[in-house]
Amino acid sequence: MILSGGAGARLWPVSREALPKPFIKLPDGETLLVKTMRRALGLADGNGILVVTNREYYFLTRGEYEPLGKTPPALDFLLEPVSRNTAPAICAAALHAAREHGDRTVLLVLPADHLIRDEEAFRDAVAEARKLAAEGWLVTFGIRPNRPETGFGYIEAGEALSTGAFNVKRFVEKPDLAAAKAYLAEGRYTWNSGMFCASAVSIIEAMRTHSPEVLCAVEATLAATDYDKVPRILAEGPFAKAPDVSFDYAVMEKAGKRAVVPANFDWNDIGSWSALAELTDADAQGNRVSGEAVLIDAKGCFVQSDRMVAAVGVEDLLIIDTPDALLVSRRERAQDVKTVVQRLKLVSHDSVRHHRTVHRPWGTYTVLEEGERFKIKRIVVRPGASLSLQMHHHRSEHWVVVSGMAKVQRDKEEIFVRPDESTYIRAGMAHRLSNPGAIDCVMIEVQAGDYVGEDDIVRIEDKYGRT
Amino acid sequence: MILSGGAGARLWPVSREALPKPFIKLPDGETLLVKTMRRALGLADGNGILVVTNREYYFLTRGEYEPLGKTPPALDFLLEPVSRNTAPAICAAALHAAREHGDRTVLLVLPADHLIRDEEAFRDAVAEARKLAAEGWLVTFGIRPNRPETGFGYIEAGEALSTGAFNVKRFVEKPDLAAAKAYLAEGRYTWNSGMFCASAVSIIEAMRTHSPEVLCAVEATLAATDYDKVPRILAEGPFAKAPDVSFDYAVMEKAGKRAVVPANFDWNDIGSWSALAELTDADAQGNRVSGEAVLIDAKGCFVQSDRMVAAVGVEDLLIIDTPDALLVSRRERAQDVKTVVQRLKLVSHDSVRHHRTVHRPWGTYTVLEEGERFKIKRIVVRPGASLSLQMHHHRSEHWVVVSGMAKVQRDKEEIFVRPDESTYIRAGMAHRLSNPGAIDCVMIEVQAGDYVGEDDIVRIEDKYGRT
């Protein structure tokens, strides 16, 4: 089960509400979500993957999964209509797994935004956890600390259960520096990774004892959810009533039969730009550059940009550039980037929500420029995909295909538009754009009209259920 | 006479070769060049303005001058085919003035990139200088130092010539800090502003004595220059042979009858981003922002950007943003921005030469996006202006008008294209775009073809002499 909820505000301006942390491309070109999916698929006898995420990320998540292989195990979804933290999400997954696969089903809960490089050690740890889970234990994975980190919770191990697992003595919330140093020195403390392994029935029974209000709300949610509809969206009314609590707080801190498997693998939750910077190699001055940069007397800086960046005489800066927003932060203040996002939210600044490139079920569009009475977009339609049959009241659209092939419905007429050909959709005309070809269709759209807002759209028919 | 040559590399990325420092818009929306022109026009009995600049800046300079008034005095040009420093430029202006207006003509030489706010004090100083110039003096304007600046040359005043002017004892090159402090304390030293006032004949005779090789080369240049052609371009062969020396070095440091008028006006040569920052008001933390920014624990920073900029925990930074290049520099390292430009020149980086918006005699174009086999431009044609009659071998062009009115010649045919209308120019077709209207014509152009470089253009006919 992959838990894919968090916003990753600390990774603004690259992470945004419409494309949060799990979907950010790392320096190797892959997203954290794809890496998590591949890690899950690497557990040879896994029965399949269940993703619990906000319904807004359904098409994005599928878009990440599909390239992973010709016939990967089925991808199952529980879509949240509202965000309700990890306890309701894991509870829903456990009830769903019990219903679909039997209550002895073992769930491995993986947050979508962890980076683990040693897959073999990961698989060994999971094998250990799985044995214990089958015996009724709630199993956590503890990361051996290499520094007195104050940003994570800790797990204190008790007596050994096997060569690779211990009873959990207690969970400790994020400590102060003195306590963190003591935990590091002591040796029995590990970081709480947020990954779990347990059988569906163990999770359900622990919730019944320690968090009955969550269990009750989620049971009501599943009862009210339309199981035949694809994708499956949890019923909004009852789910919204579930308490907004973490699984740690609701269950793990109180439950009885808890185990910890200390991890022998590396682990990075990419919690800030400072952590993300480490994935790019440093030069002799400690500078890390992803993109094009001229650095004059700069030290310890991380630059990520698609444009030319010049830095003169600066030290320990994070310079993170996107087409519509720029972050310049001292490296040790990387945690405070979330404060920037809070401020931007107060004024509903668009850079919190969207990138200039917006993802849609059929592909993407990028606003190249917007002026008075006009807007220019680059539209990319995936092979076989199709926009809704739609109509605009206030704008007409000029379409020029620059690569691939477009099939265009204009009222009753259907035409094909090839590279260097164009067509015109006047305001009020029902129209639909499809890509019947085998490669992406790239089109430039020039909108003209009194009003060119995204909300001037009447969807007449849509294969993605958006009418 | 306005001298408009310098590149202003220290003001990269806003100042670029194709749009250098005199054309940069200040926070009040005006360029340094317009301010200099207006200052010149403010001298009530000025006979007119002569601009000496590179031929590349002719249309840009005219574009700045025209909005200044309904009937400003004629604007005369001497266009340099190559840059040759101030001695050849001032020499050419003196010979030209002597030829056109008589050798007693008094020239006031104003660099195009100075900011002076107290126009009245400026006029008083010019009146004083002018009297002396008519008596045969070479007159400089000295700026009273308010700090031990090591970036300027100094002038040491000798005995008084009048209440407002002194004999020049000596010119001093840029001093070290100790010397600069001594000059500041001493009182008889002023900064060499780079402005001069002298009669044509005084300049010519001083050059004959102290810099005959410059005079000789420039005399040959004027003799070979086609005076009937508009605009007047100095003959390239002989002008290129003129020594690349400053007027200070060639003449002023050696000449006999030299005077200095200490200025009672403010003066700023906007030599770096640090100086330009001062033109924007600071908040309580000493931050100055031109654009949209969220500052968290930032102090003493200057931010100029069209995009959202967030700065966290940073001090004394210059953050200068343009659509295709970004500068982040410590404030005290502002002078070293020229090193960035030197590095970028080594790799012929486009951000040294052009902005994304390129100025043309007929208006501007902005590259919105360039991809494989396509390029998208926003084209703005000024009222009454017209692009050349041209043809492209490798690309066709789709034109959509979004505001104003376009007249389009397609081979023999001539059509009018209105907002929300489009037309198509296929590769190989002779075509011309004009704006017959009274407001700007704004058009989106989508180019498609195997090759979309700017050099695929055959100019058949051009009203700006570019065929």
B427 and chain A in contact, CB less than 8 A: no
Pairing type for strands A138-143 and A189-199 reads antiparallel
Residues of B in contact with A349 (CB under 8 A): 308
Pick the residue with more confidence: B247 or B72? B247
Residues of B in contact with A339 (CB under 8 A): 296, 312
SS3 call for A426: coil
CA-based nearest residue in chain B for residue A306: B324
Distance of CA B128 to the CA centre of its chain: 27
Which of B336, B349, B400 lies nearest to residue A398, judging by beta carbons? Answer: B400
CA-based nearest residue in chain B for residue A308: B325
Give the right CATH number for A357-461 from 3.40.50.2300, 2.30.110.10, 2.60.120.10, 3.40.50.150: 2.60.120.10
Which of 256-295 (B) contact A at CB < 8 A? Answer: 294
State the CB neighbour count (10 A cutoff) for residue B452: 21
B446 and chain A in contact, CB less than 8 A: yes
Q: Which two tokens stand for residue A456?
A: 């001037």
B319 and chain A in contact, CB less than 8 A: yes
- In this prediction, residue B7 has a pLDDT band, given cuts at 50, 70 and 90, of confident
Residues of A in contact with B372 (CB under 8 A): 403
Tell me, what's the pLDDT at A408?
A: 97
Contact check, Cβ <8 Å, A327/B310: yes
Pick the residue with more confidence: B215 or B462? B215
B400 and chain A in contact, CB less than 8 A: yes
Which of A294, A327, A442 lies nearest to residue B340, judging by beta carbons? Answer: A294
Which of B343, B349, B420 lies nearest to residue A448, judging by beta carbons? Answer: B420
Q: How far is A34 from chain B (nearest CA, A)?
A: 27
Query: What is the value of ipTM here, to two decimals?
Result: 0.90
A333 and chain B in contact, CB less than 8 A: yes
**Mean pLDDT across B100-115:** 94
Pairing type for strands A317-321 and B406-410 reads unpaired
CA-based nearest residue in chain A for residue B373: A402
Is the pLDDT assigned to residue B168 strictly greater than 90?
yes
Q: What are the strands of the beta sheet with B458-461, ordered from one edge? A: B413-417, B406-410, B431-434, B389-391, B458-461
Name the average pLDDT for chain B: 93
Is the pLDDT assigned to residue B340 strictly greater than 70?
yes
Tally A–B CB contacts below 8 A.
185
- Yes or no: say if A166 and A127 are a contact pair by the CB < 8 Å rule: no
Is the pLDDT assigned to residue B271 strictly greater than 90?
no
Q: Is-same-fold flag (A2-263; A357-461)?
A: no
Tell me, what's the pLDDT at A189?
A: 96
Tell me, what's the pLDDT at B274?
A: 92
What is the tens place of the pLDDT at every residue in B200-253? 999 999 999 999 999 999 999 999 999 988 889 999 999 999 999 999 999 999
Distance between CA atoms of A416 and A434, rounded to whole angstroms? 10
CA-based nearest residue in chain A for residue B324: A307
Which of B307, B328, B332 lies nearest to residue A328, judging by beta carbons? Answer: B328
State the CB neighbour count (10 A cutoff) for residue B128: 21
B376 and chain A in contact, CB less than 8 A: yes
- In this prediction, residue B67 has a pLDDT band, given cuts at 50, 70 and 90, of confident
What is the tens place of the pLDDT at every residue in B272-309? 999 999 999 999 999 999 999 999 999 999 999 999 99
Tell me, what's the pLDDT at B44?
A: 67
Which of 5-24 (A) contact B at CB < 8 A? Answer: 12-13
B439 and chain A in contact, CB less than 8 A: no
Which of 92-111 (A) contact B at CB < 8 A? Answer: none
Residue ranges for chain A with pLDDT beneath 70: 44, 46-47, 70-72
What is the tens place of the pLDDT at every residue in B185-202? 998 999 999 999 999 999
Distance between CA atoms of B180 and A465, rounded to whole angstroms? 75
B448 and chain A in contact, CB less than 8 A: yes
Tell me, what's the pLDDT at B372?
A: 84
Delimit the domains of chain B by residue range. 2-263, 273-346, 357-461
Contact check, Cβ <8 Å, B326/A321: yes
A427 and chain B in contact, CB less than 8 A: no
CA-based nearest residue in chain B for residue A317: B314
Q: Which residue, among B291, B319, B289, B297, has the nearest Cα to A336 in the 3D structure?
A: B297
Distance between CA atoms of A117 and A123, rounded to whole angstroms? 11
Tell me, what's the pLDDT at A71?
A: 66
Which of A294, A309, A349 lies nearest to residue B343, judging by beta carbons? Answer: A294
Contact check, Cβ <8 Å, A308/B319: no
**Mean pLDDT across B454-459:** 93
Contact check, Cβ <8 Å, A329/B310: yes
A357 and chain B in contact, CB less than 8 A: no
Contact check, Cβ <8 Å, B314/A329: yes
Residues of B in contact with A319 (CB under 8 A): 326, 328
Distance between CA atoms of B141 and B155, rounded to whole angstroms? 9
- In this prediction, residue B318 has a pLDDT band, given cuts at 50, 70 and 90, of very high
SS3 call for B302: strand
Place of tokens 């199993």: A139
Tell me, what's the pLDDT at A82?
A: 93
State the CB neighbour count (10 A cutoff) for residue B159: 7
Contact check, Cβ <8 Å, A310/B12: yes
Contact check, Cβ <8 Å, A308/B337: no
Residues of B in contact with A398 (CB under 8 A): 398, 400, 422
Which of A296, A344, A398 lies nearest to residue B294, judging by beta carbons? Answer: A344
Length of chain B counted residue by residue: 467
Q: What are the strands of the beta sheet with B363-371, ordered from one edge? A: B357-360, B363-371, B374-381, B441-449, B395-403, B422-425
B450 and chain A in contact, CB less than 8 A: no
Residues of B in contact with A340 (CB under 8 A): 294, 296, 310, 312
- Distance of CA B378 to CAs A198, A279, A322, B137, B403, Å? 59, 38, 22, 52, 11
Distance between CA atoms of A197 and B176, rounded to whole angstroms? 71
CA-based nearest residue in chain B for residue A420: B448
**Mean pLDDT across B414-422:** 96
> Which segments of A225-324 does DSSP mark as H helices, in order?
236-240, 247, 273-277
Q: Does domain A2-263 have CATH number 3.90.550.10?
A: yes
Is the pLDDT assigned to residue B99 strictly greater than 70?
yes
Which of A310, A317, A396 lies nearest to residue B340, judging by beta carbons? Answer: A310
- In this prediction, residue B71 has a pLDDT band, given cuts at 50, 70 and 90, of low
Is the pLDDT assigned to residue B46 strictly greater than 70?
no
Distance between CA atoms of A39 and A114, rounded to whole angstroms? 10
What is the tens place of the pLDDT at every residue in B124-158? 999 999 999 999 999 999 999 999 998 899 999 99
